[in-house]
């Protein structure tokens, strides 16, 4: 019985010695890292404002839509005059660069919308005859956009 008391006393003394050494700096004690509570000094770059496309002199705007966000089912314009159809898109993504797809009747084009600077794309669609056309926009909810369809006389 004496041997087990002596072994227990020795183990307790060794544990106490280890604790005292780690608390007094005599040994290498584990100190958990402290998170940095300071505010970040790096600001995200500001986004440019989103503006509407403007028609040039001599052009007739036949469709103007925006500002909108995300997909749009489109509109049908019935009083399309003869001339050259031009479609202008201004867009800006709130997160990462994101695609926006414009569909005009059976064709279309893609626009890569930036997340920092307003993207401006003008697409000449070619000659039109008097009549109508349908336009739709497909994109994510994070994209804000304006679209304008104009006809310039030939």
Rounded CA-CA distance 106/63 in Å is: 18
Tens of pLDDT along 87-143? 999 999 998 999 999 998 878 999 999 998 999 999 887 777 767 788 999 999 999
Domain spanning 60-152: CATH superfamily: Galactose-binding domain-like (2.60.120.260)
Q: What is the pTM of this model?
A: 0.67
User: Rg of the chain over CA atoms, in angstroms?
Assistant: 34
Q: Which of 98, 104, 72, 69 shows the shortest CA–CA distance to 85?
A: 104
pLDDT > 90 fraction of the chain, expressed in percent and rounded: 38
Give the rounded distance of the alpha carbon of 40 from its chain centre: 21
């Amino acid at each position: 019985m004496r041997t087990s008391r002596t072994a227990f006393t020795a183990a307790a003394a060794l544990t106490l010695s280890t604790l005292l050494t780690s608390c007094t700096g005599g040994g290498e004690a584990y100190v958990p890292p402290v998170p940095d509570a300071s505010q970040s000094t790096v600001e995200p770059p500001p986004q440019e404002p989103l503006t509407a496309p403007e028609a040039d002199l001599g052009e007739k705007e036949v469709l103007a839509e925006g500002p909108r966000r995300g997909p749009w089912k489109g509109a049908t314009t019935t009083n399309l005059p003869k001339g050259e159809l031009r479609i202008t898109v201004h867009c800006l993504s709130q997160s990462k660069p994101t695609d926006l797809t414009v569909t005009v009747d059976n064709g279309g084009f893609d626009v890569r919308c930036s997340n920092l600077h307003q993207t401006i794309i003008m697409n000449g669609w070619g000659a039109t005859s008097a009549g109508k056309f349908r336009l739709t926009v497909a994109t994510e909810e994070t994209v804000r956009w304006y679209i304008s369809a104009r006809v310039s006389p030939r």
